[in-house]
Structure formats: C-alpha cells, structure tokens
Structure 1
Amino acid sequence: MIRKLKLFTAIAAFGLLSPPAIAEDVVEDFQTWGQVMANINLGNVTGNENLKNWRLWLEGQGRFGMDSTQFSQSLIRPGIGYAINDKITVWAGYAWAPTSKPFANPNGGKNFDEHRLWQQLIYTDNFSFGRFQWRSRFEQRFFDSDIPDPGPNDVAYRFRQLWKFSFPMSFIHEKLSFIIQDELFINLNTPHAGWITRGFDQNRGFVGLGWKFNNTATGEIGYMNQYINRPHTIRPDQMQHIVGVNLFLNF
C-alpha cells in the first residue's frame, strides 16, 4: 500500500510541477477556492422507495484571486441525477457563474455572468488500494452581451474529463486519505472569435488530504494548479496556484 502511494504521489507531483510550456509569457496568481457540494439520495430523504435511484446535486463555490484579495468568480450548480447501478450515475443540470478579474477581460472590460447547461456521467469504484472516480462532463456555455467579439454562434461547447483517486492512510488515521485529481478541459468550437478558441482550454491538477468526519461529511484541503490556455492575441496564458478547501455531503 505504501509503495503504491509513493508511486502515485511521484506521478502527481511531476505533473503539477511541470505544467505544459505553452507560452513564454504566463501570468501567475495565488488564489483561494472554497466548495460545498451535496449529493442527495431522494429516496433516503423522502422515504419513498420509488425514488431510491434519483439524486439531487447542489453545489456552491467561491473563488478569490489577485493574491486571494478579491472576489473572482462564484458558481451555483444544481442538477438532477439517476443511478443506473451502484457505480454509474448520469446527471443533468444548470450552472450560474458570475465572473470578474482575473477571469474576466483584463483589458478594462466589464464583469460578466456565465450560464451553463451541463450533462455528466460519473463512474465510481472501490479497489484494494482505494477509491477511483471518473467523471465526463459536457457543457453548453452562454455569456451575457458584454463579451467581446461574439461569433455567429453564441453557445460555447466544452468537454471536461476528471480522474480522481483517494488512498486511505489508515497507517496514520482511519479517517485520513490522500487525494490525487486531474481534470482536462477541451473547447469543442469557437463561438467568440479570438476569445474562446477550439482545442485545449485548461488543466487542473490537485493533490491534498481528505478527512471523513462521518458517513455524511468529508472534507478535503490541498493544492491545485490551474493552467489556462489563452489566445495570445488577446492576453497571455494564466497559471493559478490555488488553495482548495472542499466539503462533500452525502444524504
């Protein structure tokens, strides 16, 4: 177990410390992100056996940039899901993301709201070494009218692929775990000329520690490296060094 943990730690550290050298001029920032996410089994909370496969997703995030001194973005993301079996769940929902610097236009543009429709599939399984999660998410993104240079199609399509490993650290404490996570973002079209371009959008790598408070609540804290690919005619690429604090609730 310890040998496997060391191997995955080395792989994750190499990936996080060696981001893709896409641009020479990369703007860096230190940020703090907080997240609360609830996965609610409607059968459990209502007592209705007919709803035992239906799920409710409630998520809220706050993100602070510019060396964690000012609000940059928040995210409200509700959704509804259906458990195909004990490992696979399909979801659909809506997300609202009010956004300001450094994610908004850095050249004096206004703050903006982003609205998303999203669909996803989550596969989760337990192995002898720990817990693995695979999440594939498809998003349709809509922006307010202040976004510069709108193209003929105002909808931005994006695919996101997440892999997450949770390794129990029972040799230290039975409630402690080691977390490795990576998520790749791919833009599927170019709806806003020069602002969103088709292809690689960003990558988020996370390493941290998890603590299982009880059967309902699990907390995670760690470091996330976010690399954002920007069209260089508009602005340089961005790299965020993020302290992430997450609370996951299961009902």
Structure 2
Amino acid sequence: MKPLVSFFAIICVAFPLSGAATENDPGTWITFSTTDAFQTDGQDSRWHYWFDAQARYFDLGSGVNQWLARPGIGYEINENVTAWLGYARFRSRNSAGDVSNEDRYWQQINWSAGSWNGGKVSMRARLEQRSISVGDDTGLVARFLAKYVRPIAKYQDTNLIIGIEPFVDLRDTDWGGDAGLGQNRVFIGFGRRVSDRLSIEAGYMNQYIWRDNAENRINHLGVLSFKVKL
C-alpha cells in the first residue's frame, strides 16, 4: 500500500490543484472510444485502428461546450510499444455563442511500462499540430500521459484508475497559445468490464489551465467513458 500512497502524493504535489486557481468551474465529459487490431487471415495484425469521440460541457447552463472526433491508425512495434498517427476535428462554442473549429494532426507512442504494486503502468507521448479558424498560426503541443490501472480484488472486473497528463505548448500563436505549460489533467476513477466488448469508466478529472492574460482556471469534471470493441 505504501507505493500506492506515494503515487498519490506525487500527483498531488507535482502540479497546483484547486487552491492555486482563482477561477473554478464544474463540467461533464462524455467519451466513446474503440481500438483494436486489424485482422489478417483471421489473426491480429500489427496494424491497429483508433477512434474516439467526446462531448464536453463546462459550467452547465452557460452554453460553453466542445466536441471532438479523433480517428487514427497505429503500428505495433513490439508487444509493449505502438506508434500512432491520426487527425482530430475539434469544435468549440463559448458563452457568447461564438464557434471555432480546430484541426489537429497528431503522432504518438504508447508504451506498456510494466507492473507496479499489483497494477499496470502505461505511458503515452503525443505531439499535436493545431490550426484554428480564428487564427493563422499553427500551434505545437506536446502531451505526456502516465496511467495506473489496478484490479480491485473484492469486485470482479473492476479497476482503480489513476492518470496524470501535462500539456506543453511549444510555440506562441496569434490565437492565444503561449509557449510553456498549458494545462494539466489529473484523473481518478473506476473502470468496469461489462462484457467482452464493453467497458465503462467513470471518475473525477481535475483540469488546471495556465493563462498568461487572465486568472488561471481549474475545471472540476465528471468523466464518463464507454470503451467498445467492435
């Protein structure tokens, strides 16, 4: 249990939480995702597909919301490492009703880092090139995800899930991007395998956003995810 407590402590002190922010807002994210290997002669090939779609609602009733659709294709380098590339379409609406559209091209490496304290640790590094309808520059964002999944012995097919993902903006843009730390996401929740083809995850995400020309912001998010195997 001590290593798990240490893991929680690292997450809590690595980045500022709600007490360091002066603006706090609630929200809800709903996610659908599917990923699997393509079949060749009835066997799993090294090529994989990925698709996820998200609906995000902030400060419920304010009209602020976001939608995302993200397909991708990956190649399994070995049993622990998979390389991916893909595209995402991101649409955002603010409280004034203004809508912006964003195109994101992305490349990533997924790594199954091994076992720790009865659970599994995985890592993901992603690079995104972002262009938006309200600006001319292309943003460059690096994201680093560490995730820990541990089965709960008393509850069959149920897991504890902990994740942390900092975002780093690598360049300034004319639409508001500023080089440096952009945001950090900390997630804690539970996942349950409902069937061979469906798993559901639910939990809390603390999303801290650094802003140069405004108060830093923290979103307190309820997250519900449906993971489907086609």
Query: TM-score w.r.t. structure 2 length?
Result: 0.89
Which runs of 5 or more structure 1 residues have no equivalent in the other structure?
A: 103-107
**Are residue 42 (structure 1) and residue 38 (structure 2) matched?**
yes
Percentage of identical aligned residues: 30
The alignment partner of 1:192 has SS state of: coil
Q: Deviations over 1:93-144 (max 9, x none)?
A: 0000100126xxxxx5832001100000000144261111100000000101
**Are residue 249 (structure 1) and residue 215 (structure 2) matched?**
no
- Give the aligned partner of residue 151 of structure 2: 168
| Cα distance in 1, alignment partners of residues 19 and 141 from structure 2 | 20
- Give the aligned partner of residue 141 of structure 2: 158
| Cα distance in 1, alignment partners of residues 10 and 151 from structure 2 | 18
- Give the aligned partner of residue 81 of structure 2: 88
| Cα distance in 2, alignment partners of residues 189 and 20 from structure 1 | 28
> What one-letter code is carried by the residue in structure 2 that aligns with 1:8?
F
Aligned length: 229
Contact 2:139–2:170 (CA under 8 A) maintained in structure 1:
yes
- Give the aligned partner of residue 124 of structure 1: 112
Aligned-residue RMSD, C-alpha: 2.4
- Give the aligned partner of residue 200 of structure 1: 181
Contact 2:63–2:97 (CA under 8 A) maintained in structure 1:
no
- Give the aligned partner of residue 60 of structure 2: 67
Q: Deviations over 1:68-99 (max 9, x none)?
A: 66451011000000011111100000000100
Q: Report runs of 4+ in structure 1 exceeding 6 Å deviation.
A: none
| Cα distance in 2, alignment partners of residues 203 and 7 from structure 1 | 19
Contact 1:16–1:205 (CA under 8 A) maintained in structure 2:
no
Query: TM-score w.r.t. structure 1 length?
Result: 0.82
> What one-letter code is carried by the residue in structure 2 that aligns with 1:223?
Y
Shift of the 216–12 alpha-carbon distance from structure 1 to 2, 3 Å rule, reads farther
Q: Deviations over 1:188-214 (max 9, x none)?
A: 001216x11101100000001111223
> What one-letter code is carried by the residue in structure 1 that aligns with 2:17?
S
What does 1:228-243 align with in structure 2 at a 5 Å threshold?
228-232=209-213, 235-243=214-222
Aligned match of 2:163 in 173, 181, 184?
Answer: 181
Q: Deviations over 1:17-55 (max 9, x none)?
A: 83583x6xx322100001111112112xx6455x60000
Which runs of 5 or more structure 2 residues have no equivalent in the other structure?
A: none
The alignment partner of 1:52 has SS state of: strand
Decide which structure has greater strand share: 2
| Cα distance in 1, alignment partners of residues 10 and 215 from structure 2 | 28
> What one-letter code is carried by the residue in structure 1 that aligns with 2:209?
I
Aligned match of 1:29 in 12, 15, 25?
Answer: 25
- Give the aligned partner of residue 143 of structure 1: 132
